[in-house]
Amino acid sequence: MVPAGCARPVTELRIQSFGSGEGPVDLYERFDEAYYSRDARGSLDLVLRSIRPSRQDPSQIIRQTLHVNAFWTPMPGRTFVESTQCNATLCYVIGTGPVAISYEGAGFVTFSLNGFKRTMTGKIESGQLSPLRRIGQAKDLLGQAQITGQFRAKQDKNRVLALLGELRREIGPAPPYTRPPDQRGPR
């Protein structure tokens, strides 16, 4: 991750981590690969990926992948927007070697497509992430986190499917939903 205050490339996320216990920490990550595809129902898959040597141990390679699945598309000027609105699920995975952790949640994503150039630009306006799956002895690096950022992606269905396949092999399927305990107290 790039410390706050450094130059911003086109595809970059800001992750505000609340895991340190000392208040929020802003982290920035840029992504070298960004691809999207749409299915027949209009659902959009966006995959961002970064593979870099660790700063602490250059012999270790750190993989970071974000999968955004937007299940409806807001229409600028026609869609009413409020701060709690969600139109996408988010899955952010950080891994090195056989160890990985996923942070998953939901958010609001806006984008515009350029069919002629087969590109998409957009923003993750807001998103909430929580640690969900751990492979090996992965440490929780972020805790609860908020995510925002901007992206520019190329249309490439084959690359999206390949990266999602790698992601599923790395972290496995999502665990079954467990309803939280009733917080209302005795009745």
- Domain segments of the chain as ranges: 12-171
Mean pLDDT of 104-129: 90
Q: How far apart are CA 107 and CA 74, in angstroms?
A: 13
pLDDT above 90 for 41: no
Q: What is the mean pLDDT of the chain?
A: 86
Q: How far apart are CA 48 and CA 23, in angstroms?
A: 27
Q: How far apart are CA 14 and CA 19, in angstroms?
A: 15
| pLDDT at 181 (0 to 100) | 72
Least confident of 10-24, 57-71, 161-175: 10-24
Residues 6+ apart with CB under 8 A from 104: 89, 90, 91, 92, 129, 130, 132, 133, 174
Max mean pLDDT range (6-15, 53-62, 81-90)? 53-62
| pLDDT at 182 (0 to 100) | 66
pTM over 0.95: no
Mean pLDDT of 18-30: 84
- 148-179 pLDDT per residue, tens: 999 999 999 999 999 999 999 998 877 777 77
Distance of CA 21 to the CA centre of its chain: 23
| pLDDT at 186 (0 to 100) | 57
Share of the chain above pLDDT 70, in %: 86
